[in-house]
Structure 1
């Protein structure tokens, strides 16, 4: 059965890039020279150093490691991708004529554009009807494989808020960025008494990153825990004498 999955590399304090350029938040032409890139390349260093990632990009070298096996697994599982327009705009030129996806990619955007065909089996279809429609199209294109949410963080929050995500893989780099774009927080559409529940299904530790896999089980109501209380509710930082 086709799953909707997401992969995201984050710092220990939850950032997936450095801070966005406040002066030009949508201009991706200078992204590599802007404030987002240093944090992004730090948290994704584990992947960039992996042989499987480098081979997919057409680069030589890299390390044969557990990290490389996880990258290879990630590519092998995906039959189609969904991504945000900022990610596409930042990657269109660096990816070149043969992007690493080798599968249909559905770009969620407000700016229509004709389908872009690339070598190696990658195509980019620009979907203006919202994230639900993009995931629907990706499911149809994925066959027996999974739909992979390729990023960025804003799109992943939309997919989570819509209840469309089945599996979340977080790759936690041992670094504190201090400032940057946080993966989670406002934007999930949760009330004060709601949460999105996840069940951990895999933990893999390597020297440069901790790989965490969760099954997303959906929204739940948060309840006050008054176990052990008699009379008034006992708060988390109080005791009753």
Structure 2
């Protein structure tokens, strides 16, 4: 059965998933890149950006697992880009150039209509204006039995957690303090929502934690 998953989602020690003040110059927010040091050197992430080599080990194992059996993605509007409000034109097609790293149908949550964008490498961006439940229905249909991965951002993941729709979630907690931004768990009673920790392992750059819905 198709699952709704979060994988390889980096968090700071104080619970933030991106730095503040996201912009074209700082797509991960101020200080945000430090959250992802565990991933940047892995073989999986280097390959994703057209680079050779990369490290193996626990960090690589979690990075590789994050792409297994994924048939569709869901992204929040902020994950797709820094533009807010109405789309001014069709020029913005994401942070990732002509060949984004998704390679499957990808559904972007937004309040503003936009035609689908067909990209190189198998990625097509679809823009969903009627909420998170519609997005998951469309994504699961497009995934053809494979899993759906929620890429973020924080607000999108929190909405799915509040509805008890995330089946399992892997977060990589980096030894970094950001101080402000969007906090993943603030105000969420994860235990009451039915979630529990099923796995945790530490490396030099991150503590990997897997949380599953009981």
TM-score of the superposition, structure 2-length normalised?
A: 0.86
| C-alpha spacing 1:132/1:93, structure 2 compared with 1 (3 Å) | closer
Give distance in 2, aligned partners of 1:94 and 1:33: 11
Q: Whose helix fraction is larger, Structure 1's or Structure 2's?
A: 1
Q: Which residue of 2 aligns with 1:45?
A: 37
Contact 1:51 1:64 in 2 (8 A): yes
Residue 209 of structure 1: CA displacement? 0.6
Give distance in 2, aligned partners of 1:197 and 1:125: 31
Residue 117 of structure 1: CA displacement? 0.6
Q: Which residue of 2 aligns with 1:204?
A: 201
Residue 77 of structure 1: CA displacement? 2.7
Give distance in 2, aligned partners of 1:161 and 1:181: 16
Q: Which residue of 2 aligns with 1:73?
A: 65
Residue 67 of structure 1: CA displacement? 1.1
Give distance in 1, aligned partners of 2:150 and 2:95: 19
Look up the SS of the partner of 2:192 in the other structure: strand
Q: Which residue of 1 aligns with 2:2?
A: 2
Residue 61 of structure 1: CA displacement? 4.2
Residues 214-229 of structure 1 mapped to structure 2, 5 A cutoff: 214-217=211-214
Give distance in 2, aligned partners of 1:92 and 1:42: 25
Look up the SS of the partner of 2:137 in the other structure: helix
TM-score of the superposition, structure 1-length normalised?
A: 0.77
Residue 93 of structure 1: CA displacement? 4.4
Residue 171 of structure 1: CA displacement? 0.8
| C-alpha spacing 1:33/1:171, structure 2 compared with 1 (3 Å) | closer
Q: Which residue of 2 aligns with 1:32?
A: 25
Give distance in 1, aligned partners of 2:94 and 2:167: 31
Q: Gaps spanning 5+ residues in structure 1: where? A: 22-27, 218-241
The structure having more radius of gyration, on CA atoms, is 1
Q: Whose strand fraction is larger, Structure 1's or Structure 2's?
A: 1
Q: Gaps spanning 5+ residues in structure 2: where? A: 83-91
- RMSD over aligned CA atoms reads 2.1
- 1:182 equivalent to 2:174? Answer no
Look up the SS of the partner of 2:99 in the other structure: coil
Give distance in 1, aligned partners of 2:155 and 2:133: 14
